[in-house]
Amino acid sequence: MNKFTRIGFILAAAGSAVGLGNIWKFPYITGEFGGGAFVIVYLLAIVFVGLGVFIAESLIGQTGESDVATSFVKMSNSKNPNWKFAGFMILAGLLILSFYSVVLGWILNYVVSSFSSLPTEASAAGATFGALTKDIGTQLFYHTLIAGTVIFIVLKGIKDGIEKVNLILMPLLAIILFGLLLYSISLDSFSKAVSFMFVPDWSKIDEHALLAALGQAFFTLSLATGTMITYSASLPKDANFVKTSMSVALIDTMVALISGLIIFTFLFEAGSPSAAGPGLVFISLPVIFSGWGFLGQFIAISFFVALVFAGITSAVSMIEPSLLFFIERFKMTRQKATIIAGSTFYSLGIIALLSMSDSWGETLTFFGKNAFDWMDFISSSILMPLGALLTCVFIGFYVDKKILEEKFLQHTSIIVFNVWYSLVKYFIPIAVIILFINKLGLI
């Protein structure tokens, strides 16, 4: 198999992790839960839960050197072929990609429309966004563009497709974010944004905040969907999987925090409320940018382009687990695997966008949830918690502790191993079970 270089792996894994989750979702949930205190809870969730699972997945991938199903079996010392059923995780990535591609399409549409004009008032911005989510033709057009780009990249494989694209897009993303950060620092409200994000106000922290932080830690690190196992299958054999995992988590966290600082500076500068909700990127920000004239238009375009770059590198990581699975287990060519996985997510994306329209909405709504929301629910509330749980139980209770210890001791001290092992065996599964029960609405 074609391996990444070590730096190629870090860039690709960071490219997967850094996405709409960092630049859009993290700021808006931080706003909703009141800032600083939520940021602390989130950082704890990243370090004690996300990073633990990340290292576990990376170890499984690096050891297995194969698709998710085969890697689990190999990690079990090939003792139990039934671990191949862990391969179900690849479905979550495809399902997320279906609606993620539609959302990326909205953003691409915003890049294009920012060239002509921006809405000057929140009501107009809200109406424009509402109309877009019901406009079948426009959404289909942009969903097709995004899906086509993703398919084009993964057809070229890990080295010539995924690694190369990340090598180009990640530095560009860093440049845009850095520029936006410098601009925010020059604004008066920057210090207000800093205190909002780093001075804790514990009054808004309840169990919802804890669970949101936990769910976000999984989503933002692209865990429990086979993505990191699949990417780590191409991690060089001698690479320090603990260190690379930490680098990726660090980059991901930095981007989330920087995005938060930029966005809250902009919101405060315009006197807008910090809790803008999901409409943050599509409604609140465009109105603020429009107030800044030509410079605002330039910032709007840069910001939406950054989101598209971040999103594309995440999108390719959602389909790759399925491709490697088809290639390794069914001996398919990459072309054939891409046609199957690509047409699956492309069609599901169409169903997702139709389910928001007036003409199809009713047909595509089941038990009070439309198809778009079902895809989100099934992937992030059912498949991802199950995937995370299975990974922890596998590592904590099935794989021989001696084997794990040996792998760690090649790179780290015994203390690091012991801390990680207890987290993965006891603390993380319990946290995930609580999250799972809550997501299913049982508590």
* Options 16-24, 148-156, 165-173, 184-192: segment touching ligand TRP (CB under 6 A): 16-24
Nearer to ligand TRP, 142 or 218 (CB): 218
- The SS3 call for residue 366 is strand
Report how far residue 309's alpha carbon sits from residue 314's, in angstroms, rounded to the nearest whole number: 9
User: Which among 224, 118, 181, 163 has a CA at the least distance from the CA of 12?
Assistant: 163
Among 9, 11, 12, 19, binds ligand TRP (CB under 6 A): 19
Q: Which of residues 286-315 bind ligand TRP (CB under 6 A)?
A: 314
Min CB(363)–ligand TRP separation in Å: 28
8 binds ligand TRP per the rule CB under 6 A: no
| 96 versus 327: smaller Cβ distance to ligand TRP | 96
Question: Which H or E element spans position 369?
Answer: strand 369-370
Smaller CB separation from ligand TRP, 219 or 304: 219
User: Of residues 10, 12, 17, 364, which one binds ligand TRP by CB under 6 A?
Assistant: 17
Of the candidates 344, 333, 349, the residue with the CA atom closest to the CA atom of residue 155: 333
Q: Is 318 in the site for ligand TRP (CB under 6 A)?
A: yes
Nearer to ligand TRP, 248 or 404 (CB): 248
- Does residue number 438 form part of the binding site for ligand TRP (CB under 6 A)? no
Q: How far apart are CA 166 and CA 85, in angstroms?
A: 30
Contact between 93 and ligand TRP by CB under 6 A: the answer reads yes
* Number of residues counted as binding ligand TRP (CB under 6 A): 16
The sign one gets for the Cα dihedral 55, 256, 324, 380 is: positive
96 counts as binding ligand TRP under rule CB under 6 A? yes
Residue 58 interacting with ligand TRP (CB under 6 A): no
Q: Is the C-alpha dihedral spanning 155, 158, 162, 168 positive or negative?
A: negative
Cβ nearer to ligand TRP, comparing 17 with 210: 17
Name which of 219 and 417 has its Cβ closer to ligand TRP.
219
Four-CA torsion 413, 417, 418, 419, nearest 10 degrees:
100
The answer to whether 54 contacts ligand TRP (rule: CB under 6 A) is no
Instruction: Tell me if 233 sits within 8 A of 71, measured CB to CB.
Output: yes
Residue whose CB is less far from ligand TRP, 76 or 317: 317
Q: Which is nearer to ligand TRP, 103 or 285 (CB)?
A: 103
Token pair of 228 as six digits: 């990191």
Using the rule CB under 6 A, is 53 a contact of ligand TRP? no
**What is the pairing mode between strands 365-366 and 369-370?**
antiparallel
Going by C-alpha positions, the residue among 305, 298, 31 that lies closest to residue 174 is: 305
Q: Is 317 in the site for ligand TRP (CB under 6 A)?
A: yes
Residue 220 touching ligand TRP (CB under 6 A)? yes
CB of 96 or CB of 174, closer to ligand TRP: 96
99 binds ligand TRP (CB under 6 A): no
Shortest distance in whole angstroms from residue 101 CB to ligand TRP: 12
Binding status of residue 327 toward ligand TRP by CB under 6 A: no
Q: 147 near 102, Cβ under 8 Å? A: no
CA angle in degrees (0–180, nearest 5) for 318-371-97: 10
Examine residue 219 and tell whether it contacts ligand TRP (CB under 6 A): yes
22 binds ligand TRP (CB under 6 A): yes
Comparing CA positions, the residue from 173, 127, 202 lying closest to residue 11 is 173
Residue 230 binding ligand TRP, by CB under 6 A: no
Q: Is 260 in the site for ligand TRP (CB under 6 A)?
A: no
Determine, following the binding rule CB under 6 A, whether residue 272 of this chain makes contact with ligand TRP.
Answer: no
Cα–Cα separations (whole angstroms), residue 379 to 18, 92, 386 = 19, 5, 10
- In this structure, the dihedral spanned by the alpha carbons of residues 394, 400, 402 and 407, taken in order and rounded to 10 degrees, is -50
Q: What's the one-letter identity of residue 46?
A: I
Yes or no: say if 28 and 273 are a contact pair by the CB < 8 Å rule: no
Interface ranges with ligand TRP (CB under 6 A) = 16-17, 19-22, 93, 96, 219-220, 222, 225, 227, 314, 317-318
